[in-house]
């Protein structure tokens, strides 16, 4: 079985400050990890993924995520938040074998204040 936990329902940050959205996972096997963003009344959009290699992954819109195998975490980060980053963020995981179904976390709402 595979699962994802996003411990924060909402994260508030001031514009220009660094942001972190937390994600921990549980899988049997090597994980493929993903971050998606959802803007109001839209579908999810892919931000970045970790498959293998460098633990720091860079993605769209200046976001990056750090894979930490010992802590089974994959936190999303950005050095300087923008008001336009306000959205719902989902972490997702799947194992490297078998069917390609992603398991999603419950989502974290990011609110960036001007």
Rounded CA-CA distance 5/8 in Å is: 9
Separation CA 32–CA 15 (nearest Å): 31
Q: Which lies closer to other proteins via its Cβ, residue 13 or residue 59?
A: 59
Q: How far is the CB of 112 from other proteins (least distance, A)?
A: 21
Cβ-based nearer residue to other proteins, 15 or 86: 86
- Within residues 88-107, the interface with other proteins by CB under 8 A covers 90, 94, 99-107
Q: Residues with Cβ < 8 Å from 75, sequence gap 6 or more?
A: 20, 21, 22, 23, 65, 66, 68
Residues 110 and 15: beta-carbon distance below 8 Å: no
Q: Give the residue with the Cβ less far from other proteins, 15 or 95.
A: 95
Residues that bind other proteins (CB under 8 A): 4, 9, 32, 34, 36, 41-46, 49, 51, 90, 94, 99-107
């Amino acid at each position: 079985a595979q699962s994802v936990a996003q411990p924060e329902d909402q994260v508030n940050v001031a514009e220009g400050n660094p942001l972190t959205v937390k994600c921990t996972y549980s899988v049997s096997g090597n994980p493929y990890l993903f971050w998606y963003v959802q803007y109001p009344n839209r579908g999810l959009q892919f931000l970045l993924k970790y498959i293998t290699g460098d633990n720091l992954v860079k993605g769209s819109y200046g976001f990056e995520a750090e894979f930490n195998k010992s802590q089974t975490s994959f936190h999303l980060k950005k050095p300087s938040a923008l008001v336009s980053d306000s959205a719902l963020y989902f972490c997702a995981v799947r194992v490297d074998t078998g069917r390609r179904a992603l398991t999603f976390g419950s989502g974290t709402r990011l609110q960036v204040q001007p």
